[in-house]
Amino acid sequence: MFPRLLTATLLLALAPLAAADCGDSRLLLRSDNDVYGQAGQDQGYSAGFAATWVSPTVTGEDAACLPGIVAFLDRATPWLRWGEGAQHNLALSLHHAIYTPADGTRADVVADDRPYAGLLLLGLAHHVRDQDRLASTRLKLGIVGPSAQGEVAQDSLHQLFGRARFRGWDNQLRDEPLLQLDHERAWRWRPDAGTDGLGWDHVVFAGGALGNAITYANAGVEVRFGRHLPDDFGSNPMRLAGEGIAPGGEWRARGWDWHFFASLEARGVAHDITLDGGSAKDGHSVDRRAFVAELGLGVVLTHGPWRFAGAHYRRTREFTGQPDRPVYGSLSLGRSF
């Protein structure tokens, strides 16, 4: 109930911002679930919800046409603009995530599987564009533990779809504040489109994250093919600069436009609170693997100001003894204003 209330509050607060006369702003809603990826699997990153509002593109230093609160945030956080470029925008986000072990019938601690964890994070990101180069930096604040209401959210979902309740939430990670800083650089190559606007591009990206939620370094590539590819830096919503949120990109297609994407990412992970456990010395943890890789495959449809996307993800095992490789999916709905 709490995540729904917070999300509704966020959307109501951002609704007036969509009307700002400063080019297009964008609103994206995303649902992640392992059920979308593979029937019968309910473990690991079990479910998540994200809401993101992206400001209009600002050219140069003149942000006067941004809505008041966004203009204030733009002026107050110049240290989050780590790149140089003629265009930039801001993105405000909320992300709720649920992590569980595979066996939901046990009420005791499953010692050889990951801890129960619920995370709730608010984010502020700056995206700075210099033609076919992009620098993205995001600050996230939040909480892990019972106050994030992971149990309530999962119980509601399971009740809605007639699935059994997971019994081990009494063993979830304790309440702990989260502070996270993410950064990504991306470079796009886009050959000329062919007949009927058909074309392909690819984006190379690298970056990392530092904080008590997760600390890692990453690198990868995303390839896209379709009709009238968007002028942005990737469509994979799991990336910091993905999901079409880069400055300058627009979704206002005349008819139905479409494209497919394939993304491959490698990470070296130094810390992950959902595997290593919280700061409490007696908390549950597992033997985390230092390197993981993830493959994402998806399709994106745009029509007028609307954007629809679906994706499937497969990840290598994240800890020693993990019985199955993580598989999950995502469904996204976006609109430009």
The DSSP symbol for 2 reads: H
Mapping DSSP onto H, E and C, the string for 165-202 reads CCCCHHHCCCCEEEEEEEEEEEEEECCCCCHHHEEEEE
- What percent of the chain has pLDDT above 70? 89
pTM of the model: 0.90
Domains, the chain, in order of start with CATH, read 2-336 (2.40.128.140)
Are 137 and 125 a contacting pair, CB within 8 Å?
A: yes
DSSP H helices in 146-279 = 150-160, 273-276
Alpha-carbon gap, residue 29 to 335, rounded angstroms: 9
What pLDDT digit, counting tens, does each position of 289-310 carry?
999 999 999 999 999 999 999 9
- What percent of the chain has pLDDT above 90? 61
What pLDDT digit, counting tens, does each position of 226-268 carry?
998 999 999 999 999 888 899 987 766 678 899 999 999 999 9
The residue-averaged pLDDT of 80-94 equals: 92
Please name which of 54, 28, 18, 8 lies closest in space to residue 308, comparing C-alpha atoms: 28
* Statement: residue 129 has pLDDT above 80: yes
- CA of 122: how far to CAs of 246, 267, 290, 314, in Å? 19, 23, 27, 26
The DSSP symbol for 67 reads: -
What pLDDT digit, counting tens, does each position of 24-72 carry?
889 999 999 887 876 566 778 888 999 999 999 888 776 777 878 888 8
